[in-house]
Amino acid sequence: RIETRISTVTGDIDWLRKEHPQWPGLQSIVEIESIRELKDKKEEEKRYYISSLFPDAKRILEATRQHWGVENRLHWVLDVCFGDDQSRIRKGNAPGNIAVIRKCALNLLQKIKQGRPRSSIKRLRKLAGWDVGFLDVVLSTQF
């Protein structure tokens, strides 16, 4: 797979600042073009952002890559270890509340995992469900 990302940035946004005074830190508008080539298939996508960063195309491209890398890793872990994509919780405040609880549990398990490098998050989660003593250890973990 070959991936190419092209970042185009402008700081000429006085018109946008006038239109949206509620965004006092606005510095730039960004276009990131992603081109993915895999065998015979080519996909192109453009994403647009407003940013509080100085209009530096290289720095903004790196920042967006880091942001999405963190997001993708977090969502992958939540899906694999907690079955996030299979959840049927959809009404009212429940989805947001469960998301907070899952992320808190993930943070606690990641802290425990530092002392048990050979154990997976999924295994530690199951162990906490099976062993009340281990659950107490997880819930009393200090950051």
pLDDT (average), residues 46-58? 94
Cβ neighbourhood burial of 36 (10 Å; 0-12, 13-18, 19+): middle
Q: What is the pLDDT of residue 72?
A: 75
Nearest to 44 by CA among 32, 62, 28: 32
**pLDDT score recorded for residue 59:** 94
